[in-house]
């Protein structure tokens, strides 16, 4: 099979591209390297630096491609509130441009990687695909809008489309930027360097943390599964974990005892978040194989940024 992975030099994208390449597929990657890293990609992967809004470039990359994995996106919730127009341009505009190119190139299927953030605050946990979306940030609004565009434009063009709502993915290769870092990568870095861990709110808020290999399993399954056209599917661990429990596991895995600093004035976001993954099991035969404790250990073992002398 021939695949195009947009955003393929990013955290999830690179893991996906390398998995596909290792399986013997021809893999093309498009990434603007605004946050991605070309060095993460296997030598066999065909890399092109470019913008997902560049339709002529997309057209050239789509030749002889069987399926597109769309992961190109800006992904920071706090940053999206500062730059909502940028998030709309990339996450919505880039998706529309890609769908136009996919239509013109007559691609068979697109797997669109969205986010569990589209649900926003919900009264019932775990979150089901039938729950009413309630996006609570410009980022979440842009991801929900992109879902609608993918499904509508794909249906008009007779292209099969699968939307995956990925929850809090983590694992080796995840960046730890100075501004708005992902919580697990941030906590591991500070624990290993004997820093302090900042807990916003009281730490009882929960999230669904899913290991990168499990996410890639779901994404690859979505490329070949039957009867998934126009489906929206949650991808998570199905386990609800509090921030306090995450801190305990980080300390246990690293063998460090970082100072815990509580910041009660900082908005801690949603109080609870967890995916119902029964639909993913039914349609994709998806079951997460990696517990949070195991995933944290693998992240520390496999990612050089945590190997501090």
- Supply the DSSP symbol for 76: -
Residue 263's CATH number:
3.90.25.10
Question: Is residue 8, in this structure, part of any structural domain at all?
Answer: yes
Q: Please tell me whether residues 149 and 194 are part of one structural domain.
A: no
Is 155 found in the same domain as 70? yes
CB atoms within 10 A of CB 245: 14
Within this chain, do residues 115 and 64 fall inside the same structural domain, yes or no?
yes
Q: Are residues 70 and 160 in the same domain?
A: yes
Query: Which tens digit of pLDDT belongs to each residue from 198-219?
Result: 999 899 999 999 999 999 999 9
Its domain, for residue 227, covers: 2-169+210-235
Both tokens of residue 258? 């970082």
Exposure string of 174-207, with b = 16+ CB inside 10 Å and e = fewer, is bebeeeebbbbbbbbbbbbeeeebbbbbebebbb
Q: Which of 3, 119, 139, 187 is catalytic?
A: 139
User: Is the same domain home to 15 and 31?
Assistant: yes
Q: State pLDDT tens for residues 238-279.
A: 999 999 999 999 999 999 999 999 998 677 678 999 999 999
**How much is the pLDDT for 308?**
73
The CATH number that applies at residue 132 is 3.40.50.720
> Based on the domain organization, do 125 and 255 belong to the same domain?
no
Rounded to an integer, what distance in angstroms lies between the CA atom of residue 110 and that of residue 163?
8
> In this predicted model, what pLDDT tens digit does every residue of 20-36 receive, in sequence order?
999 999 999 999 999 99
Torsional sign, CA 132, 80, 53, 217: negative
Domains identified in the chain, total number: 2
Is 139 tagged catalytic? yes
């Amino acid at each position: 099979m021939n695949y195009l992975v947009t955003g393929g030099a990013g955290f999830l994208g690179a893991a996906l591209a390398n998995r596909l390449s290792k399986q013997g597929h021809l893999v093309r990657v498009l990434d603007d390297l605004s946050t991605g890293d070309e060095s993460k990609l296997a030598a066999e992967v065909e890399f092109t630096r470019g913008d997902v809004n560049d339709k002529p470039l997309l057209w050239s990359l789509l030749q002889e491609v069987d399926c597109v994995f769309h992961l190109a996106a800006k992904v920071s919730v706090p940053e999206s509130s500062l730059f909502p127009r940028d998030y709309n341009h990339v996450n919505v505009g880039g998706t529309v441009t890609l769908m136009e190119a996919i239509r013109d190139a007559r691609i068979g299927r697109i797997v669109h990687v969205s986010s569990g953030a589209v649900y926003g605050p919900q009264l019932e946990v775990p979150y089901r695909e039938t729950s009413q979306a309630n996006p609570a940030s410009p980022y979440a609004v842009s991801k929900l809008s992109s879902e609608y565009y993918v499904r509508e434009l794909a249906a008009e063009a007779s292209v099969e489309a699968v939307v995956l709502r990925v929850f809090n993915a983590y694992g080796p290769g995840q960046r730890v930027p100075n501004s708005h870092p992902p919580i697990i990568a941030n906590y591991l870095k500070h624990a290993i360097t004997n820093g302090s861990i900042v807990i916003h709110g009281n730490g009882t808020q929960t999230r669904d943390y899913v290991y990168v290999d499990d996410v890639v399993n779901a994404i690859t399954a979505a490329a070949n599964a039957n009867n998934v056209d126009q489906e929206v599917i949650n991808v998570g661990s199905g386990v609800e974990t509090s921030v306090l429990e995450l801190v305990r596991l980080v300390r246990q895995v690293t063998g460090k005892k970082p100072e815990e600093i509580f910041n009660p004035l900082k908005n801690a976001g949603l109080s609870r978040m967890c995916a119902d993954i029964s639909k993913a099991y039914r349609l994709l035969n998806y079951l997460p194989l990696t517990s949070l404790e195991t995933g944290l250990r693998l992240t520390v073992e496999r990612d050089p940024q945590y190997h501090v002398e």
